[in-house]
Every structure is written in C-alpha cells, then in structure tokens.
Amino acid sequence: MIIFIAMLFYNFVLNAQVDDNSDLYKTLKSKDSIIFKRGFNLCETEKLNAIIADDFEFYHDVSGIQNKAQFLTIIKKNLCTKPGNNTRQLVDNSLEVHPLKSNGVLYGAIQKGKHTFQEKQKGVLKTVGIAAFTHLWILENNIWKLKRVLSYDHKPYSE
C-alpha cells in the first residue's frame, strides 16, 4: 500500500505545472503571444497560420466548433476588418503549463489561463469581457503546433 501511495505522489509531482522560469513555460508563453498579440491584435494571421496544426479544432462556448480554415477566416472577417478595434490580453499570473509525456519523453503540453477582451469605444480601448482557455500543444517534428483549443466561460468584465 505504501508503494502505491508513493507511486501516486511521484506521478502527481511529475505532472505538475512547470515553473514559469522553465524553457517549456517560456516557449509556450511566446506561442500565446503569437496567437493573440500577433494574430488577433495585430492581424498578422500568417504568423498564426504557421503554428496551428492542420487538424486543428477550436471549441467555443458561444460560437461553436471550428476547424483551422474556419478559425482563420473568422479572425480575418471579425477582428481584422478594423485592426486595433478589438484586442485580447493575457490575465497576469493566470497562465499554467502542464507537460505531457509518453515514457518520459515530452510530446506535448496543456496550457491554460484567462484572458480579457478589449473593445475600442470613443477612441479608447475598454475591457469588456473575460474568459478562460485551454490549449493542447503537440510537438510535430520538434515544432510546437496548436492542436486543440477550448475557449469557455465567456462573460462580461467587471472590475
């Protein structure tokens, strides 16, 4: 029984969130920046396209399920018609990264956090919403690719 408990504890420690100073955390935080700062906020969708897996799936609690082509089209149509009118910001200290391993070898990671949404009103960006996200990242030929996204708990922002 003691060995079983020790194994459970060992497994829990190995699957714990990585430190925010780790290479994995920093790498995936930089990918988060490509998705939102470069892709959404600056409408550099070619940067976003490069890090999304071909079999990408996006699950949204308001707008439903989208594949890669649908996801990129919606960004271009909704966010990029007036760049800078809508932005997304990562909530400080909300980002978590959990490694995924197979037989001790890193093959992916789960990244989750919260983000706020800003909308330009009378020339000024105002925070109007908040939501949670969970991303599944997979290493494909040693390149991180965003494979699955859960975007949920969307609600109006209140300070």
* Tens digits of residue pLDDT in 24-60: 999 999 999 899 889 988 999 999 999 999 999 999 9
> How would you classify the pairing of strands 86-90 and 105-121?
antiparallel
Which of 149, 136, 135, 145 minimizes the C-alpha distance to 51? 145
Phi, psi of 42 (to 5 degrees): -100, -5
Instruction: Copy the structure tokens of residue 12.
Output: 């829990």
For 50, 59, 83, 143, the CA distances from 146, given in Å and listed in that order, are 10, 13, 23, 10
Q: What is the pTM of this model?
A: 0.85
The pLDDT assigned to 15 comes to: 52
Going by pLDDT thresholds of 50, 70 and 90, the confidence category of residue 3 is: low
The pLDDT assigned to 158 comes to: 87
> How would you classify the pairing of strands 143-156 and 105-121?
unpaired
* Tens digits of residue pLDDT in 65-98: 999 999 999 999 988 888 888 899 999 999 999 9
The pLDDT assigned to 134 comes to: 98
* Tens digits of residue pLDDT in 128-150: 999 999 999 999 999 999 999 99
* Tens digits of residue pLDDT in 7-22: 444 444 445 789 888 9
- Segments of 7-142 assigned E as strands: 52-60, 64-67, 86-90, 96-102, 105-121, 124-140
State in Å, rounded, how far the first CA of the chain is from the last one: 49
Q: 7: which strand partners?
A: none
> How would you classify the pairing of strands 52-60 and 143-156?
parallel
| Mean pLDDT, all residues of the chain | 89
